[in-house]
Amino acid sequence: MTAPDPGRGIGTGFTGITGAEGSPGGSFRILHVSTGNVCRSPITERLTRHALADRLGDPLWGGLVVESAGTWGHEGAPMESNAETVLADFGADPSGFVGRELLDDHVIRADLVLTATRDHRAQVISMGHSAGLRTFTLKEFTRLVRAIDPATLPPLDDGVIERARALVRAAAALRGWLLAPTAEADEVFDPYGAPLPFFRSIGDEIHEALDPVVTALTGVPARA
């Protein structure tokens, strides 16, 4: 097993370059973005990791690296205690999390950026680095993924990384054709400072949005 990646994800050896500037050919980086990187994006990061480990049964997740950052990130801060409780509800591991402020390098290295809101998406895209075609809100990406025929994606025999890259390309191609029913449909609202029941409702939203994404990435449905 390789050592943990400095970006808090776990990946395979770095070889080659992908379409995302500087992203290593041996990995596919998923970056979750919210505001403070202490509530929504930590929950999404750790639920994604948990789901990938559950589907793939591989601590390296086939080369997928999952991390997060905040547009006004509390650098070095722990996640909110209510966020930790939400993760524990799902059996996900909240330990060792450290908040980060979103930097150019995070966007440059990411193959897929999933944001909590449209404002976050706009901020990521405004940073440049050809991020527009690989940056979506989480719920937007879920909606697009649901419309993609899994049979059009590379088989798992070709590797999870190739499948993930094809999924992002297909979602980007659909974006102009499959619009949100309302402006709020693509938003995950901020639970910062809210009581635990609201955190849990946000956790449920995130979990529900992630399920079809992880299924499409891995080709493996959630366990019954």
Output the pTM of the full model. 0.88
pLDDT digits (tens, 9 = 90+) for 53-68: 999 887 566 789 999 9
What separation in angstroms does the CA of 170 have from each of 92, 164, 178, 189? 29, 10, 12, 27
The dihedral sign for the CA sequence 50, 40, 130, 170: positive
What is the pLDDT, as a whole number, of residue 21?
Answer: 41
What is the pLDDT, as a whole number, of residue 220?
Answer: 87
H-run or E-run covering 33:
strand 28-34
Between 11 and 179, the more confident residue is 179
Contact 38, 116 (CB under 8 A): no
Dig out the tokens for 98 from the structure: 């450290």
**Burial bucket for residue 212 (CB in 10 Å: 0-12, 13-18, 19+):** middle
Q: Which of 118, 129, 150, 175 is nearest to 29 (CA)?
A: 129
Which residue bears the tokens 């193959």?
111
H-run or E-run covering 120:
helix 118-126
The helix/strand/coil state of 18 is coil
What is the pLDDT, as a whole number, of residue 156?
Answer: 84
pLDDT digits (tens, 9 = 90+) for 110-163: 999 999 999 999 999 999 999 999 999 999 999 999 999 999 999 988 889 999
SS3 content of the chain, % helix, strand, coil (to 5): 45, 10, 45
Between 10 and 81, the more confident residue is 81
